[in-house]
Amino acid sequence: MQELIFTDDPAAALGRLLRSRTGRVFMLADENTAAFAPSIAGCTPVVVPAGDDNKTLKSARIIWQAMVDGGATRLSTVVNFGGGMISDLGGFAAATFKRGISFINVPTTLLAAVDAAVGGKTGINFAGLKNEIGVFREADAVVISATYFSTLPRAELMSGYAEMVKHSLIADAAGYGRLIAVDPAAIPPSAMLELLRDSVEIKRRIVSADPSERGIRKALNLGHTVGHAFEEFALLKSCPLPHGAAVAHGLLAEMVIANLCLGFPSDELYRYAAWLQANYAPVRFTCDDYPQLLGLMAHDKKNASPDAINFTLLAAPADPRIDCTATLSDITAALDIFRDLLSC
């Protein structure tokens, strides 16, 4: 089982984990996080370009080549030090090198700590689609610390906070109310670490029950069908949208679909819309963009068929329903209501 370590001293925790390793250690970072990666004796640094648009086969090749050049064996370990892009990319590279070697995630952003670093999903983007190629493979361990978050811009902090809100919407209605009642930037590191522990525990419990996403794990896709479409649409328009911000908007759009299809409470819909508008920059699109957005949703990897768009929806907070579908007219109506709610 994946070891989760919550700590105020991530470098020391990582050192303890690596002390018993006999193979070579490779420290993967991007151009931003490499400057403050922990110094580990004998560790081979591997640096890739930053940004989700570099979560590609080209970057995976850089990692594989560095491991070949560095004499990596089946006993080697990759330490993924960075945000969600590094966790996804490094996990995929490790999981496919020599049919799988060990890796440890050390997330440096709130989004990575609560989402990409935990749960065993790895992957790269391909053909303009998010995480189109990947495998299920858990890290041996994840070292989670709030000490890295103090330097995050507010937009980056809110990107991660959206995933915490998503987790609470799935399984903790009271916790959801508490999360949207406070300013994340005002939460001290010790309190944030405890909130992280609670949020990650929700994900850990769901993943443990369904590691390969055959059933209840699909609940974690809440907000992601529309959210990924928003994210990919923004990339195609050359104005990248942080993953968590895309999910935050996807949650609202899917709440509207749930309101239309499952009777999700209107007062909860309006409460979330007000919180979203107060904390996130708007997603810009018009009705002319609907066919492109619907096409991106149809290509989502969660769909069993391109003719039936799959959603996880909420009947109410903490009452998720998996494997829901909606008609194109319902999705289009939801996009209309979404824009009206946010005055887009």
Q: What pLDDT, in 10s, does the model give residues 200-227?
A: 999 999 999 998 888 999 999 999 999 9
Q: What is the pLDDT of residues 57-91, one digit of tens each?
A: 999 999 999 999 999 999 999 999 999 999 999 99
Which residues make beta-bridge pairs with 3? 141
| Residue range 3-152 in CATH 3.30.1330.10 | no
Residue 133 confidence (pLDDT) above 90? yes
State the pLDDT at residue 306.
66
- For 37, residues 6+ apart whose C-beta sits below 8 A from its C-beta are 27, 29, 45, 81
Q: What is the pTM (predicted TM-score) of this model?
A: 0.86
Are the CB atoms for 287 and 344 separated by under 8 Å?
A: no
- Number of Cβ within 10 Å of residue 299's Cβ equals 18
Q: Return all residues near 222 (Cβ < 8 A) that are at least 6 apart.
A: 166, 169, 170, 251, 254, 312, 313, 314, 320
Q: Using the Cα atoms of residue 181, residue 198, residue 170 and residue 163 in order, give the sign of their dihedral.
A: positive
Q: How many CA atoms lie within 13 A of 282 on its CB side?
A: 13
State residue 93's pLDDT score: 98
Grade residue 308 by pLDDT with cuts at 50, 70 and 90: confident
Chain mean pLDDT for the chain: 94
Sketch the domain layout of the chain as residue ranges.
3-152, 162-186+218-342
| Paired strand residues for 45 | 27
In the chain, pLDDT over 70 holds for what percent of residues? Answer: 99
pLDDT in tens, 157-176: 999 999 999 999 999 999 99
pLDDT over 90 at 301, yes or no: no
- Decide if pLDDT at 344 tops 70: no
Span 15-24, average pLDDT: 92
| pLDDT-derived band at 292, boundaries 50, 70, 90 | very high
Residue 28, pLDDT > 90, answer yes
Residue pair 85/55 in contact (Cβ under 8 Å)? The answer is yes
pLDDT digits (tens, 9 = 90+) for 87-103: 999 999 999 999 999 99
Query: Residues 238-289: pLDDT tens digits?
Result: 888 998 999 999 999 999 999 999 999 999 999 999 999 999 999 999 999 9
Structure tokens given for 21: 């390793």
> What 8-state DSSP symbol labels residue 122?
-
Over residues 102-116, mean pLDDT: 94
218 within 8 A of 176, measured Cβ to Cβ: no
CB of 283 closer than 8 Å to CB of 230:
yes
Backbone torsions φ then ψ of 74, nearest 5 degrees: -65, -15
Cα separation, 163 vs 121, in Å, equals: 15
Q: How far apart are CA 164 and CA 199, in angstroms?
A: 6
User: Per-residue pLDDT for 307 more than 80?
Assistant: no
Fold classified for 162-186+218-342: Dehydroquinate synthase-like, alpha domain (1.20.1090)
Question: Does 304 have pLDDT greater than 80?
Answer: no
- In the chain, pLDDT over 90 holds for what percent of residues? 82
